[in-house]
Amino acid sequence: MSPLASGGRDRYPFELALDRYVCYPMEAVTLMVRVRLETPMRTILCIHLPQKLEVEEIHMDGIDDNFLTVYTHAFDGKLLAFPLSNYLDPGKGTDISIRVRLNSISMNHMMSFTAWMAQDVPDFKGDFFNEPAGSRSIELAVKANAEYLRYLPELYNYDDFINRFLMMFESFWKPINQQISGGENYYDPDLTPDSFLEWLASWVGMEIDETFPRERVRDLIKNAIPFYHSRGTAESLRFFLEMYSGGKVEVKERKAHNMVIGASMGLGDGIALGMDNKPNTVLVSMTVPLTELTRTGFTKEKYAKKIKSFIRNIVPAHTVFSLSCKYV
């Protein structure tokens, strides 16, 4: 699997990416869509697929196969309509993958995949394939001739068998070449595939818990250096727990020593006044969203136990800590 870079998120509630951007006839290509529902109103994600494409498989994370309607236009391809508001709550998102196969063409060609949000499915009788306001497109270059032909004498450029024969080898090697040419993306926390996150985290000495949300793991890896600079402090503990839980964390440290009246008595940062001080203790108070229990599948007691294991790994070995969690 190759890491994919997609466009910005400034004004679109969805992102588009292809598993390859150059292909040959009869090859399969996967269009990936990451979408989020921003309003409780009726919302349909419309995706226009151009001619010469045959849909082989459509998958939407967490939802069965009977979730969309496919409209076919005699001259201008297909329109896929995903009724998002039937399956997603406002603020929630999902990933959609659409695998298509290209039919044969006789010349180099650019194919455009277009997506947009609508409240109703566009009318096929109208000119709906003109890009609506707020639409977004991604292009696929289809090559009719094998690139390896340029390494052969010119007379082979007109041999259809040799052309298709070389395409077969190029199709086999292309994913490997793409991985090599995009190798630097595997070392970018924002672009590396989920399956490589734990491996990338190991490069900075982090052991990632399986219940840690993948997107937050990316942020944690990006902040590995400042995290280690302050490791063992209240700041690093607060940062890690807020990253894991998505909630609010308050950390209070007890001073190292009580003041003792006598010849050696003194005041300073390491001296505590009062009767309630417990030297070398840390008090952690958390406000945790209830959705965290749903995400992890934990009970409140099991979630608190998981948090305590994190705290024990971060605070200095000689300290004692206490934890209180409020779920909202």
What share of the chain has pLDDT > 90, as a percent?
22
Q: What is the mean pLDDT of residues 2-7?
A: 34
Give CATH for domain 230-327. 3.30.300
Alpha carbon distance 318, 123 (integer Å): 70
Give one DSSP letter per residue of 118-171, joined into a string: ESSPPPTTTTTTSPPTT-EEEEEEE-SS-GGGGGS-GGGGG-HHHHHHHHHHHH
Q: Where are the domains of the chain?
A: 14-144, 230-327
Q: Is residue 44 pLDDT above 60, yes or no?
A: yes
pLDDT category at 7 given cuts 50, 70, 90 is: very low
Q: What is the pLDDT of residues 264-290, one digit of tens each?
A: 666 665 566 655 667 778 899 999 999
Relative to beta strand 44-49, strand 53-60 is unpaired
Confidence (pLDDT) at 171:
74
CATH number (3.40.228.10, 2.60.40.740, 3.30.420.40, 3.10.290.10) of 14-144 reads 2.60.40.740
pLDDT category at 132 given cuts 50, 70, 90 is: low
Confidence (pLDDT) at 305:
94
Confidence (pLDDT) at 4:
32
pTM comes to 0.52
Q: Is residue 131 pLDDT above 60, yes or no?
A: no
Q: Is residue 105 pLDDT above 90, yes or no?
A: no
Confidence (pLDDT) at 263:
66
